[in-house]
């Protein structure tokens, strides 16, 4: 049987491909902003730029997390920077102020009739299993119904009962699709992560599961000799406790769900060879003590550096004129990449 081919280097390196993807895939999809408990209390907020759109995400007094365009209705200055907690958002340019629900509260020296009913523009957002997603073009089909089959796998872990204990952010000099593919494929685990992951999630025990139109993933099973990794939710089977479930909610939200630890990576593609990676670690309830949390942060930081180094080196190869599409490894190892490409190029005959 002929192996399925991956993508040629141009798909990861060309500016025009990246711009087409931004318009056709990223802006039309559901992009994960982060875990909802990153903004747990009313007034908690965070800002980020996604596909050229400045966003302000804030939890309102009614408990709803809303995603606004982070731009003042006067002359478009951002009204907030970074993250934190705010009673209201005062634009630093001419001091118009907005409530946690986005409504304009006051505008110094402005006639009332000029500012009546103004509020921050609002994006469509959806929460799913403790994550917050935004759709920039406002026209994507609802997310949750398209993740039903994935929910069946994830729900036994009770992801809503996880608590974020670490967040990090770094720019990787790699294409966003390469970051997705690297996260999804188990082929590299025993090679790139020899010292960090191999003893727990060796390549040989990876088992892909069926994806859907909105996700794909695989189970990274632990060897019998591996020590238990925590108990997690009470309803978990022993098999579920002895594996990590890694998945991608298309286009670019990556999650590793295990009994007591969840790692999440929200990708922010910034250019053909540049991806901002926002990541978080969350633990089940208060099962993990501080020393274990510190150990997990150190482990995942090391894993991330191993992946980043390999992807940044690969990005240099990808730019070569010899970077043709290579054959993908068998189903359980790189079938996830084939799924991802089917999603990216659904209905298209010509790939990049």
Does residue 307 interact with Fe ion by CB under 5 A?
yes
What is the smallest separation between the CB atom of 217 and ligand FES, expressed in angstroms?
Answer: 43
Dist. CA 271–CA 171, nearest whole Å: 11
CB of 255 to ligand FES, least distance (A): 37
Q: Is 44 in the site for Fe ion (CB under 5 A)?
A: no
List 58, 67, 91, 255, residue binding ligand FES (CB under 6 A): 91
Contact map string, positions 95 to 114, toward ligand FES, x by CB under 6 A: -x------------------
Handedness of CA 161, 165, 171, 172 (dihedral sign): negative
**Buried residues in 268-298 as b, exposed as e (16+ CB within 10 A):** bbbebbbbbbbbbbbbbeebbeeeeeeebee
Total site size for ligand FES, rule CB under 6 A: 8
CB of 131 to Fe ion, least distance (A): 21
77's contact among Fe ion, ligand FES, none, with CB below 5 to 8 A by partner kind, is ligand FES
Spatial CA neighbour of 213 closest among 180, 186, 248, 246: 248
* Binding residue (CB under 6 A) for ligand FES from 20, 88, 93, 317: 93
Residue 54 or 230 with smaller CB distance to ligand FES? 54
Residue (47 or 275) nearer to Fe ion, CB: 275
**Are 280 and 167 within 8 A, CB to CB?**
yes
**Of 2-10, 72-80, 307-315, 320-328, which part binds ligand FES (CB under 6 A)?**
72-80
Q: Which of 47, 51, 67 is nearest to 59 (CA)?
A: 67
d(CA 173, CA 177): 12
SS (H, E, C) 278-339: EEEEEEECCCCCHHHHHHHHHHHHHHHHHHHHHHHHHHHHHCCCCCCCCECCCHHHHHHHHH
Q: Which is nearer to ligand FES, 93 or 169 (CB)?
A: 93
Binds ligand FES (CB under 6 A): choice among 15, 75, 88, 170:
75
Of the two residues 78 and 130, which places its CB atom closer to ligand FES in the complex? 78
CA 336/CA 320 separation, integer angstroms: 25
Does position 88 bind ligand FES by CB under 6 A?
Answer: no
Region from 41-49, 73-81, 186-194, 295-303 binding ligand FES, contact rule CB under 6 A:
73-81
What's the N-to-C CA distance of the chain in angstroms? 24
Distant-in-sequence, close-in-space partners of 139: CB < 8 Å, separation ≥ 6: 28
- Of residues 114 and 227, the one with the C-beta less far from ligand FES: 114
CA dist 193 and 79 (Å) reads: 42
- Residues forming contacts to ligand FES in the complex (CB under 6 A) are 72, 74-75, 77, 91, 93-94, 96
């Amino acid at each position: 049987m002929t192996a399925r081919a991956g993508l040629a280097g141009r798909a990861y390196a060309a500016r025009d491909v990246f711009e087409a993807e931004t318009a056709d895939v990223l802006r039309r999809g559901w992009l994960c902003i982060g875990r909802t408990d990153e903004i747990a209390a009313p007034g908690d907020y965070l800002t980020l730029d996604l596909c050229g759109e400045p966003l302000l995400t804030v939890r309102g007094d009614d408990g709803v997390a809303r995603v606004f365009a982070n731009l003042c209705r006067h002359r478009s200055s951002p009204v907030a920077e970074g993250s934190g907690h705010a009673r209201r958002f005062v634009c630093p340019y001419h001091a118009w102020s907005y409530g946690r629900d986005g409504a304009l509260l006051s505008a110094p020296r402005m006639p009332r009739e000029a500012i009546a009913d103004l509020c921050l523009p609002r994006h469509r957002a959806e929460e799913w299993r403790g994550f917050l997603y935004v759709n920039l073009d406002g026209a994507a089909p609802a997310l949750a119904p398209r993740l039903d089959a994935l929910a069946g796998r994830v729900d036994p872990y009770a992801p809503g009962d996880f608590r974020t204990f670490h967040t990090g952010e770094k720019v990787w000099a790699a294409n966003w699709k390469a970051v997705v593919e690297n996260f999804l494929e188990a082929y590299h685990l025993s090679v790139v992560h020899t010292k960090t992951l191999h003893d727990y999630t060796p390549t040989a025990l990876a088992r892909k599961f069926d994806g859907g139109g909105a996700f794909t993933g695989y189970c990274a099973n632990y060897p019998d000799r591996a020590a238990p990794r925590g108990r997690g939710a009470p309803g978990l089977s022993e098999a579920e406790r002895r594996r990590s479930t890694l998945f991608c909610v298309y286009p670019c939200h990556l999650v590793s769900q295990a009994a007591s630890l969840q790692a999440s990576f929200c990708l922010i593609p910034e250019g053909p060879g540049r991806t901002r990676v926002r990541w978080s670690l969350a633990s089940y309830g208060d099962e993990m003590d501080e020393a274990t949390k510190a150990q997990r942060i150190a482990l995942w930081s090391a894993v991330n550096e191993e992946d980043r180094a390999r992807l940044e080196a690969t990005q240099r190869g990808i730019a070569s004129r010899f970077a043709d599409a290579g054959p993908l490894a068998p189903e359980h190892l790189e079938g996830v990449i084939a799924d991802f490409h089917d999603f990216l190029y659904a209905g298209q005959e010509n790939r990049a």
